[in-house]
Amino acid sequence: MLEVKNLKFTTKSGKLIFDNLNLKINQGEIFGLLGSNGSGKTTLFKQIFGISQPQEGEIFIKGQQLSRKGNEDRTILKHLGSLIETPSIYDYLTARQHLKMLCNIYETDDVHIVSTLELVNLTSVADQKTKTYSLGMKQRLGIAMALVTQPDFVLLDEPLNGLDPEAILCIRNIITDLNKNFNITFLISSHILSEIELTATHIGILHKGNLIYNDINPFGQMECLINNELITKDLENDIIKLGLKYFSQNNQTIIYLVDEKGKQDTIAMLLKHTLSEYKVTPCNIEHLYKRYTLS
Ligand SMILES: Nc1ncnc2c1ncn2[C@@H]1O[C@H](COP(=O)(O)OP(=O)(O)OP(=O)(O)O)[C@@H](O)[C@H]1O
């Protein structure tokens, strides 16, 4: 669905934002993009959506390369829905008019306006001017605007901004339902790690210009923690032989136990090395995030 190759981007003031960034998102994935303030999440969304052009590198959507100049052959963008930064909302238009306007711009059927308003719980205020809307209502309208044209790839940059817990739950359900029932692909950024943990199939951590973690969402898996001083060369060879993913940091080696078999194999292997001082705990995105970004 999306392939980003060797993307480089430096701001006018000389700050390096992307340093040969590579990213691949396959159809049907929900890719959760994490990263600290200023790490470049919004910039990446803008480049994928063609609002800003990469200085170096290539972006492919459904196999079609986006033009560097940014103005020819943009038809592929019709398959994209997006909410980038704050939604572009006009005070003097109603929610229904916003959705109608988007359908006109994208030259798509407007039959989904009613169901999209229903989806984001705006039906009762659909004909009120948006100047009367709260922050959360505007945000839900922004999400509706990303969905109304029935795109098969949706970019949501901080979609949970300003939402109350009920609305957060509603958006989570919308994303997972659309993904499950219609195989819609999502790229979502958020600082709410617990939400990404619950929704994403894959996770990327953007840090210092690159994706320092880019893999499946390990939530629900277990990990095994061992002090580095207990890791012998033979043990490391056995970890590699078993095909286990492992990572060493702060005097600790962390082995990801992707399934029950991986867990049993790992424990059997540790026992073979007469190693009993290990700890098996559930994976947690917050720990993962800290582990990668605070190193
Ligand atoms: N219009 C601009 N001109 C110059 N620098 C910019 C501009 N927009 C963003 N930047 C810089 O680019 C970097 C990346 O910003 P970006 O908004 O992509 O980060 P982000 O990861 O989305 O941050 P946040 O989590 O705060 O939304 C920052 O250092 C920011 O200062």
ipTM of the complex: 0.94
Residue carrying structure tokens 């994928």: 48
Q: Is pLDDT at 272 greater than 70 in this prediction?
A: yes
The average pLDDT across 36-44 equals: 93
Q: What is the pLDDT of residues 214-236, one digit of tens each?
A: 988 988 888 999 999 999 999 99
Whole-number Å distance, alpha carbon 191 to ligand 1 midpoint, is 15
C-alpha distances out from residue 93 to 49, 97, 107, 170, Å? 24, 6, 19, 24
Four-residue CA torsion sign, 121, 184, 176, 82 = negative
Question: Is the pLDDT at 153 greater than 90, yes or no?
Answer: yes
Confidence (pLDDT) at 22: 95
- Summarised one tens digit per residue, pLDDT across range 114-138 is 999 999 999 999 999 999 999 889 9
Distance 27 CA to ligand 1 centre (A): 28
39 lines ligand 1 (CB under 6 A): yes
pLDDT of residue 98 exceeding 60: yes
CB 120 within 8 A of CB 166: no
Which whole number is the average pLDDT over 77-101? 91
Q: Which residue from 37, 208, 289 has its CB within 8 A of the most atoms of ligand 1, so it is best to mutate?
A: 37
For helices 135-147 and 165-182, what crossing angle results, to 10°?
10
Instruction: Give the DSSP H/E element, type plus range, for residue 141.
Output: helix 135-147
Q: Residue 19: count other Cβ atoms within 10 Å of its Cβ.
A: 13
38 Cβ closer than 6 Å to some ligand 1 atom: yes
Backbone torsion region of residue 40, taken as left when φ is above 0, otherwise alpha when ψ lies between -120 and 50, otherwise beta: left
